[in-house]
Amino acid sequence: MKDATFRFVDQVTRERLSAPYNAPSDTQLKIESRYNDWRYWNGVINIAMNQVGEALHDTTFADYSERNIAFCLDNGRYFENSHKSEDKWSYPFGQMFTMNELDDCGAMGASVIEVYLKDRERRYKDYIDRAANHIENVQARLSDGTLVRSFPRKWTLWADDLYMSVSFLSRMGELTGNERYFDDASRQVINFHRYLFDQSAGLMRHCWFSDSGRPGVAFWGRANGWTLVAQVDLLDRLPLNFGQRDTLLSLLRRDIAGIVRYEGSDGMWHQLLDKTDSYEETSCTAMFTYTIARGVIKGYISSEYEAAARRAWKGVVKKIRPDGQIEGVCTGTGVGDDLAFYYKRPAPLNDVHGVGAVLLAGSEMMQLQK
C-alpha cells in the first residue's frame, strides 16, 4: 500500500508524473512502483488484496485493486501507441496489449472480473471479453484441448498455466453462468494431471514437452503451488451438481496427500520439493498454506490437514521481516532442462512473485482461526 505510488518516473530527469500524456515526446517514462504494472503477479496481488479486505472487513484493500486496474487502463493507451515496436516486458503495461500467452491475460483478467463484479464499467468488460477470446480461440492447444505454450519448445505444457487459465475461466463461468467456461477449466485440470502428475512422487512435474512426449526434470515448488490454487479457485465456483466435481475433488485430495509428504518440520517446502538440499521457498509454502487451509474450511479435504496448514503458516511468518518484506521467494522462472537451473534461481528480497501468495495464505489462516 505504501509503495504503490501510482506515478511515473522520467528515466533521464527523474521527474515524477501522475500521468504521461503531457510529457514531452522524448520522455522515457517507467512506472515508479512495480505494484502498479499489468503483469500476472499484479493480478495475483489484486486478487489477494480483495481477499485480505474480506478477511479484515476493510474496503481499503479492495479499493487498492480497483484503483490499480483503473490506473493501468487510464494510462495504458499512451504506452501502447508509443512503444508498439518494443518487447512487451520493456515498457509499462506491455502485457495488456500483446496478449500472446496465458501469462499476459489470465491472472490479470481474473482480477479485472473481480473488480467488474462490483463496478460495471464498460472498459472492464471490454478487456474481459478480449481475454476470454484469447484463451478460448487464440491460445495454442494440443489436439485434446490442453493449453500449451510455443516455447521453449513447440508445444510445451507448463504447470504454471493451470492457474493462468483456470483463475480466469472459473471466474468467467461465475460471471456469465455459461458452463462452457467450467467445462474448459475442468478439462485443463484433468488433462494437466494426465501429463504432469508423477504417481510415485505424488507431485506435478514443471512441464511436459509434446515434441518428445517427455516430462520435464523438476518438481518445482511454485509450479505445484499454482496448480493447487487453480483447483481451489475452480471448486469454489463450480455448481454443486457439476458433472466433473467428484473427479476434481479426487484430484485435489490426491495432490494434497502428495504435497504434505514433503513438508519440513519447520513448516517449509523447498524450491525443488523432493530435494532438501535446495533452499526453502516461501511462495510455494504460502500457496500450499492457502490451499490446505481453504480446502479444510470448504470441506474439500479432511480436517486432519489443518495441522499442516498451521505449521506451514508459522514457517511463512518467519520469512517476513518486521518491515513486511518477504524472504526466500524464487524469482521469475522459466522451464529448465536440468536441476541445476532450479537450484541456482535467485531469491531476491520481497520478490513480487511471493507477495500475493503470502497475502492469500494470511487471509485464509485468519478464516481458519475463526
Residue 343 pLDDT: 98
Give the residue numbers spanning the domain of 365.
140-370
28: which residues sit within 8 A by CB, 6+ positions away? Answer: 10, 11, 12
As to burial, measured by CB atoms within 10 angstroms (0-12 exposed, 13-18 middle, 19+ buried), residue 119 is exposed
The answer to the question of residue 301 being in a domain is yes
DSSP state string for 182-229: HHHHHHHHHHHHHHHEETTTTEE-SEEETTTTEE-S--BHHHHHHHHH
Could you please report the per-residue DSSP string of 263-321? --TTS-EESBTT-TTSPEEHHHHHHHHHHHHHHHHHTSS-GGGHHHHHHHHHHHHTTB-
Q: Is the pLDDT of residue 97 over 90?
A: no
pLDDT (0 to 100) of residue 202: 98
Asked if residue 276 belongs to a domain, the reply is: yes
pLDDT tens-digit map of 57-80? 999 999 999 999 999 999 998 888
Beta partners for residue 320, in sequence order: 326
CATH of the domain at 355: 1.50.10.10
Residue 270, strand partner residues: 280
Nearest CA-CA partner of 117 in 162, 52, 109: 109
Query: How does residue 23 score in pLDDT terms, banded at 50, 70 and 90?
Result: confident
Helix (H) or strand (E) holding 344: none
Closest CA to 88 of 74, 98, 76: 98
pLDDT at 83 exceeding the cut of 90: no
**pLDDT recorded at residue 242:** 96
pTM over 0.85: yes
Task: Please compute the mean of the pLDDT values over residues 92-102 and round it to a whole number.
Answer: 90
> Which three cell numbers, joined as nine digits, stand for 56?
479484515
- Could you tell me if residue 295 is inside a domain? yes
Q: What is the domain count for the chain?
A: 1
37 inside domain: no
In a domain, 117, yes or no: no
The pairing of beta strand 269-270 with beta strand 29-31: unpaired
CA–CA distance from 133 to each of 77, 105, 126, 351 (Å)? 20, 11, 11, 31
Q: Which residue has the higher pLDDT, 127 or 97?
A: 127
Give the pLDDT confidence score for residue 28 in this predicted structure: 86
Q: Angle at Cα 45 formed by Cα 150 and Cα 195, nearest 5°?
A: 35
In degrees and rounded to multiples of 5, residue 208 shows phi and psi of -145, 135
* Angstrom distance (rounded) from CA 307 to CA 77: 48
Span 323-366, pLDDT tens digits? 999 999 999 999 999 999 999 999 999 999 999 999 999 999 99
4 within domain boundaries: no
Give residue 84's pLDDT.
64
Q: What is the mean pLDDT of the chain?
A: 96
Q: What percent of the chain has pLDDT over 90?
A: 91
Using DSSP bridges, classify how beta strands 29-31 and 203-204 pair: parallel, antiparallel or unpaired. unpaired
